[in-house]
Amino acid sequence: MTTFTVAPPRARTLHFRSLSRAIADLASSETPESESMSNSVSIDVARRATVSALEDIRKEASTEGWDGYGALPVYSTTVTLALSLLQLLPSSLPAPDVSASPLGEISLHWSAGPRKVVSIAISPTGRLSFAALAGDSRLFGSEMMTDELPRSITVALQKVLGS
């Protein structure tokens, strides 16, 4: 069971700064310094797997037509935005399935069972489009990326993955 808590803004800022550095180290090429950083900072396996999947997308979908059908490229800025969104998500969330779309977007998708799914698509402009199905409830919308997780996306994640 996943629980969501809201920390005071000051505590969240400190937490995200250290997490931001750790994710940046993991996303960059491996060096002895970043290797020791990734081992010393408490980042769960799910988060590392997501960062690795984003790096794979950066490599595989960076050119036009990467899917063989004329897909738009996934730009580095989109990957950076996805990493920023990852920083805002509770570290207790399970690893999402990560994919690239033919529109040049990156999608994060969680499935918690029948009729319990949520997806967030990150566009190159920073638009976050989301859709969630939690039993008979459907939530969807679009928000612009900011330095905080939008409330509507938090609610969607709670309905699908929380209590």
pTM for the structure as a whole? 0.73
Our separate counts of H helices and E strands in the chain read 5, 5
45 pLDDT band (50/70/90 cuts)? Answer: confident
Please list the residues that pair with 34 across neighbouring strands. none
Please give the backbone phi and psi of residue 62, each rounded to the nearest 5 degrees, phi first.
-90, -5
Lookup result for tokens 């004329």: 70
pLDDT tens for each residue of 80-103: 999 999 999 988 889 999 999 999
- The CA distance from 53 to 59, in Å, is 10
| Range name among 23-27, 69-73, 94-98, 112-116 with the lowest pLDDT average | 23-27
Is the pLDDT assigned to residue 2 strictly greater than 80? Answer: no
